[in-house]
Structure 1
Amino acid sequence: MKAIVYRDTGGPDVLQLVERDRPTPKPGEVRVRVAVSGVNPTDWQARSGRAHRKLFPEITPHLDGAGVVDAVGDGVDPGRVGQRVWLFMAAAGRPTGTAAEFTVVPAEQAVPLPDEAGFDVGASLGVPALTAHRALTVAEDGPRRLHPGALDGTVVLAAGGVGAVGHAVIQLARWAGATVISTVSGPEKAKLATAAGAHHTINYREGDPAAAIRAIAPDGVDIVAEVALGANLALDLAVLRTRGTIATYANEGGHAVELNVGQNLVLNTRLQFLVLFTAGPQARAAAVEDVAAAIRDRALPVGEEHGLPMHRFPLHRTADAHRAVETGAVGKVLVDVTP
């Protein structure tokens, strides 16, 4: 089979296209013929050596993807062969991710994908959708599970709503009944956030964004899903309601985070840091179930018309796909692995 590998950490050029034997699923695992592989910031950060120490002599990257189960290990229902699935955390603690024609994962990490959902949708879930679910379910006064009506009466602020996680925050929050506000940097991104389902968009570079958000939510925002905590914390606190939650999954721009302790004490702010890998198995399992339900409800479409433009690369150009993510491509970067 064809696979992308790297043996040393570094820039995108360390990625190589090679021939490898098809992996054999062990007990409790499935082998998936990958159709589409999704690329996340975590993938290039791991490849560069920035995210964590390299654990294996050779690694096939990418956590997310979608395809068809073509073999199962002992203890897995043989009826799963031929099942369309979406994959998450494929390369987490393992050397074989989805940037290959075949990959092997624990059976629970290959989630059934409805026939009406394309492989593009499946490959765009994983890290972004599960992270978004986590951000929406950590509030003190909020639900731990999402379903239609779970966030009725809740105001959610999606910072950076045109990124893959922000896009999923908008879609899942809207599906669960929240009023969704997204901060954007200009009219083109406002158009994308609106297409994703945001009820309101606020250009944070113009006027008084805090006043504009307060005009929509006079009592304050319940949950902020934050992508750039250092840059946006002052705005977040200006619009947060008492006992509100700032769920932060990144710090884009790398700005220092300075906390006014007194202000946060008075607000009873919940500042929740989150990353999927250490969220815990129960939280991940709940997120998988709820995201699967949202897919069945057709609540997570992708494509520019749904607020998430697609940037596609063939397998042999995976290095270019990584460059696109590193340089801030707006939308979702996908690698087409097999037809």
Structure 2
Amino acid sequence: MDRVRETFALGPFDAPRLWTGLWQLSSNAWGAAPVSKIRQAMGRHVASGYTAFADHYGSAELIFGQFRTSLDSPDAVLGATKWCVFKPIEVSREAVEAAVRQRMDRMRSQRVDLLQFHWQDYGNPDYLTALEILSQLRTEGLIAAIGLCNFDAARTAEICTHFPGIIVSNQVQFSLIDTRPLHGMTDVCGKHGVKLLTYGTLCGGFLSDKWIDEFEPDPYSGTLNPSQRKYLDMIVKVWGTWELFQDLLRTLRAVGDRHGGLSVSNIATRWVLDQPAVGAVIIGARLGCTEYPDDNVKVFGLKLTLEDRSAIDKVLGHSNSRHLIQTIGDCGAEYR
């Protein structure tokens, strides 16, 4: 079946609703492939309609830049990267512009398509000064669009009030396991016209058919990658139990069966795409190692029914999903 790709408005871009996440290029712990194979995999993704790539860890910007400049129509591919401020810095025009130009150089681009800004210490309000300078650079053409990364609802509202119409997105963790964006964040985004770009939507691959009827894995066995260790901890220590997670997987499998045999991952992705303010789901890919573009595209055109949603909500009602906003904190709190 030829499925029509879904898109949404993101600043000046007509962006796809499924993006390819490049964070797994940060370490061989996710599996490694030669750069040539990674670029070939990017080409396959673009040919299949996956025309947006995101992240900056490791060599992600460099490889993406090499790939995009090799295309006949490089402007047809959107590249999102980040500027993350984890340690105190002196915020000046020179420092901010240098950070942006470093992104441009690494990505071999005359501008940054989407610069996602992360600021670690909320106690230091200089993030507003940094965003003022980023806004100036956007006006000057060095940045096409400005987004946030792992900002909470209160600071997102503050920033959007200071800079109306400037912020186009906030990249946050959002899944059937982690529903914190539903508790304030989506309201803020709706008020200010901000779209959520979500990661962790498949919980490192745990939200897939592969894990149905499997025993709870040992996080120290060496068989899990860094993402899986992170999300396993969330599933069994914060959200609920492995047994309840199995109930969720079986429920998603039943929903998929009602829709012609769609995968657990399809249903989990569609559920997030249907939530308020969500623009796109960023799906991490081990390019050149393990990729699922042919399966992921099946989310397009899928319409979950009231029966589907009720079955999913019933399982979530037995979890701690609605309480994560208190136990973990708002979006991004686990990184601060």
Give the TM-score normalised by the residue count of structure 1. Answer: 0.28
From the two aligned structures, give the one with the greater helix fraction. 2
Give the TM-score normalised by the residue count of structure 2. Answer: 0.28
From the two aligned structures, give the one with the greater strand fraction. 1
